[in-house]
Amino acid sequence: MALMPKRVKHRKVHKGRVRRNATRGNYVAFGEYGLMCLQGGWITARQIEAGRIAANHFLGGEGKVRIRVFPHKPVSKKPAETRMGKGKGEPEFWVAVVRPGTIIYEIQGAQELSAKTALNRAAHKMPIRVKMVSRRPKV
Amino acid sequence: MERIQLKGRARKGHGSASSRRARLDGWVPANIYGHGKANMSFYVRHDEIFRHITDEARLMTIDVGGQTDSGLVKELQFDAFGDQIIHVDFTRVSLDEIIETSVVVHVAGNAKGVASGGVLDVVHHEILVRGQAQNIPDTIEVDVTELGVGDAIRVKDLGLPEGIEALAGEDEPVVIVHDRVVEEEPTEEGEAPEETPGA
């Protein structure tokens, strides 16, 4: 089942704009390797789920895949063959808003080659350009 | 820790504009402070400091226009993508001074437990240690080849050099091999989220 909030304050929200680079959630925090966005945009709950399944399917239980983004934003859509007006459409799906630099997935406990291939499988499900990254040096 | 020689250039201008210009020319703004001496601002070459930092070197001898100081990397700032260091803070240390710093844990080998269906979990990627600056290792190597499912390497098993003590509890696990947990796929379709009443 795709991710979605259990409870929201407002059913419909404005479109908004994705500006500037990520200043949080932009480093590998839990695992050893991660998938980082190179562009800003929206990733739908279905795409997140498809990427997770693709990565987990390749790993076959070798490591643990963590999802670092959550689709908080509802996207509404007007029904087909409807005249304009009569108010905003009904919420249709959920998206995670990502900025350049955001980590989408992390893999923990897998060998580098397996993690790289698994993240590559997940990357094919993404609507934006992404790259694989490893942990940053820390002090 | 191995002592790394780092050549710096004194900083003339301060502020974001001059720092940005320096970064475009391949320099990283840096500071060194501590030991009751005046703070010093300088630039270091990005490729040089990045190489040392990725090699896990933290203790460096910094030479800025003939003035030499031993500095321990205190803080690192990266850009949004983690490709570039944008600022480094050093704190002055004497080589025989007792310091507390974190040391990176390097996992070596393939665990037996992973081959038989376990998942390797590195609980601590860094360990906080205390000891003389010159004796603190750059990395701690952990050999996991003998680990089976359910086995762990704990802080007391790390084999730290003499005079270096870990500040974490000695029974704290560093690396564990867990049993593999198979995720259950939920089959029910999700319902629309509830709207907070009165919002």
Q: Which fold has domain A33-76+89-134?
A: Aldehyde Oxidoreductase; domain 3 (3.90.1170)
The pLDDT assigned to A61 comes to 77
Q: Are residues B134 and B151 in the same domain?
A: yes
Mean per-residue pLDDT of chain A: 94
Q: Which residues of B124-146 are buried (b: 16+ CB within 10 A; e: fewer)?
A: bbebebebbbbbbbbebebebee
Q: Is residue B190 part of a domain?
A: no
**Is A63–B119 a contact, with Cβ atoms under 8 angstroms apart?**
yes
- Tens-level pLDDT at each residue, chain B (199 residues): 667 888 999 998 889 999 999 999 999 999 999 999 999 999 999 999 999 998 888 889 999 988 898 899 999 999 999 889 999 999 999 888 898 988 888 888 888 888 888 888 888 888 999 999 888 888 899 898 888 888 899 998 888 888 888 998 888 999 998 887 666 655 555 556 777 655 4
Q: Does A100 touch chain B (CB under 8 A)?
A: yes
Task: Quote the number of domains for chain B.
Answer: 2
Residue A53 has pLDDT above 90, yes or no: yes
Q: Is the four-CA dihedral A134, A96, A98, A139 of positive or negative sign?
A: negative
Instruction: Tell me which of B37, B71, B93 is where a domain ends.
Output: B93
What is the CATH classification number for the domain harbouring B73?
2.40.240.10
Global ipTM: 0.82
Q: Is residue B55 part of a domain?
A: yes
Q: Does A133 touch chain B (CB under 8 A)?
A: yes
Residue B12 CB contacts under 8 Å (≥ 6 apart), including other chains? B18
Nearest-by-CA chain B residue for A59: B119
User: Measured between beta carbons, which residues in chain A are less than 8 angstroms from residue B80?
Assistant: 21-23, 26, 99-101
Range of the domain at B162: 99-179
